[in-house]
Amino acid sequence: MQIRFGTSGWRGIIARDFTWDRVDRILDAIAVHLLREGRSSIVVGGDCRFLSPELATSAAARLSGMGFQVFLADRPTPTPVLSHACRSLGAGGVVNFTASHNPPLYNGIKFSPWHGGPADSSVTTSLERLIEAGAAAPQAPGSVEVIDFVAGYMRTLMGFLDPRVFRDSGLRVVYDAFSGTGAGILDRILVDLGAAVRVIHGLRDPLFAGREHPEPSAEGTADLSAEVLRSGASLGVATDGDADRFGIVDENGVFVSPHDFLPLLLDYLAGEKGMTGLVVRSVTTGSLLDRVASACGLDIEVTPVGFKYLGAMMLSTDVLLAGEESGGLSILGHVPEKDGILACLLAAEMVCARGKGLAAQLEDLWAVHGRSCISRRDVPLDDDLRKRLVERFFDSTPSEVDGMRVDRVDRTDGVRLLLEGGPWVLLRLSGTEPLARIYAEASTWELQDRLIEAALSAADREL
């Protein structure tokens, strides 16, 4: 089996694809890559998935045996915490055992270079070649130091918040930790700020409490929504297993899509906190963010899907907000990596600072900037469907979708069909899961539903 890195590392089904031997091959390649760059220190950690802690300990021993100074997390640790540790310690990179939001049967290994953000394609291509060649570093004496990375990270996060607005706010939050690494961090910060917090799914569970898809999406936050309504909380927040993705539920128990949360947050950061800088979004993220950025006098850049592209922008210029529709964001001065914990804290701060829930805040935002009706449909991908999608949309271009003429085709990432009058449909093949992702944006929910169905119908049509 060839090992290929997707948009955020290499993942596979445990024992079938993701095996200890393959992990060791990847670690050997990472060691050779770093030594060629003259780097001899590395941060190692992982999430709460099956075998992640054991793999992290084994990896630390293997890398120290090749001469590395290894900084090993003392517990299952969020991805953004490991990124922060890498930068704080001046380490050469991060080895992180996580499959993020993939189903429980999966695990994965993610490598981040010295800057703590996702590795770009030049790095992952180099690693793939080293793996195929069976490269291995010579044995040399190294060291392993077990460290608490969380305390320093928490101090840094407090620098992005205004504790004054939390005082006497009466903030009540429900937090769904998705049986993952965010538990004990996000809730602790909120309690220290004066909030009343109820945690659900806060204990480690590699089966994610029976969730087949442990992603803090509209479907994945059903328990959170129910608890917000039951308890009368001000806000519901969630992070996925490695706490790099966020999910938000408003005071009415309604899921707040990242397509809406990102522009709402930008309006707050630029309008009330006076922050400036470039705004960066992925191509699958809705256009409401563009309109808010324009109203704030801020430039916006659009990237392919994957935070490695947004993180690269953060490394090259001052980015106020980098965000993507899948529930990832970072802000100016923070790590060039998704941070679901920070996203949830900023949501809480907005509620306190504005004295109203997110539902009410969104009504105000939509009244000024209009709404964007956008959603995504994930379709299980087998070889036959992949072939039909490639032939129908990638190798050729439909002239119309649902009777609407295709005016332009954007191939920034996947195939985005821009239709007459402004709506669009985008098809992508996931880089981390056997899924086809179909997106559509339109002026009404009825039309965007029709566009997704039309794209699915075209894919199923006999060729």
Note the pLDDT tens digit of each residue in 92-112.
Answer: 999 999 999 999 999 999 999
Mean pLDDT of 48-70: 98
Query: What totals of helices (H) and strands (E) does the chain contain, helices first?
Result: 15, 21
* pLDDT on residue 463: 33
Q: Which domains does the chain have, with CATH numbers?
A: 10-150 (3.40.120.10), 159-369 (3.40.120.10), 373-460 (3.30.310.50)
Strand partners, 6: 9
What tokens does 294 get? 């324009």
Query: pLDDT of 247-285, one tens digit each?
Result: 999 999 999 999 999 999 999 999 999 999 999 999 999
Report whether pLDDT(7) > 80: no
Q: Is the dihedral of CA 361, 364, 369, 372 positive or negative?
A: positive
* pLDDT on residue 1: 73
* pLDDT on residue 462: 41
177 CB contacts (<8 Å, ≥6 apart)? 183, 186, 187, 199, 200, 201, 202, 238, 239
Lowest model confidence (mean pLDDT) among 119-133, 186-200, 379-393, 401-415:
379-393
- Which position has the higher pLDDT, 375 or 45? 45
Lowest model confidence (mean pLDDT) among 148-157, 246-255, 387-396:
387-396
For 64-75, give one letter per residue: b (16+ CB within 10 A) or e: bbbbbbbbbbeb
* pLDDT on residue 460: 66
Mean pLDDT of 287-310: 95
Percent of the chain with pLDDT over 90: 84
Query: pLDDT of 163-185, one tens digit each?
Result: 999 999 999 999 999 999 999 99
Report whether pLDDT(213) > 60: yes
Report whether pLDDT(380) > 90: no
What tokens does 201 get? 């799914």
pLDDT tier at 382, thresholds 50, 70, 90: confident
Helix, strand or coil, per DSSP, at residue 256: strand
Report whether pLDDT(365) > 90: yes
Pairing of strands 404-410, 424-429: unpaired
What tokens does 321 get? 């907000």
Report whether pLDDT(214) > 90: yes
* pLDDT on residue 156: 97
Helix, strand or coil, per DSSP, at residue 353: helix
Residues 248/342, Cβ–Cβ less than 8 Å: no
What tokens does 337 get? 């990596």
* pLDDT on residue 459: 67
Q: In what order do the strands lie in the sheet with 424-429?
A: 373-380, 435-442, 424-429, 415-419, 404-410, 400-401
Mean pLDDT of 146-156: 98
Nearest to 235 by CA among 357, 138, 123: 357
* pLDDT on residue 432: 67
Taking all residues of the chain, what is their mean pLDDT, rounded to a whole number?
94
Report whether pLDDT(83) > 70: yes
Percent of the chain with pLDDT over 70: 98
What tokens does 368 get? 């000024």
What is the per-residue DSSP string for 183-239?
TTTHHHHHHHTT-EEEEES-S--TTGGG-SS---STTTTHHHHHHHHHHT-SEEEEE
Query: pLDDT of 322-337, one tens digit each?
Result: 999 999 999 999 999 9
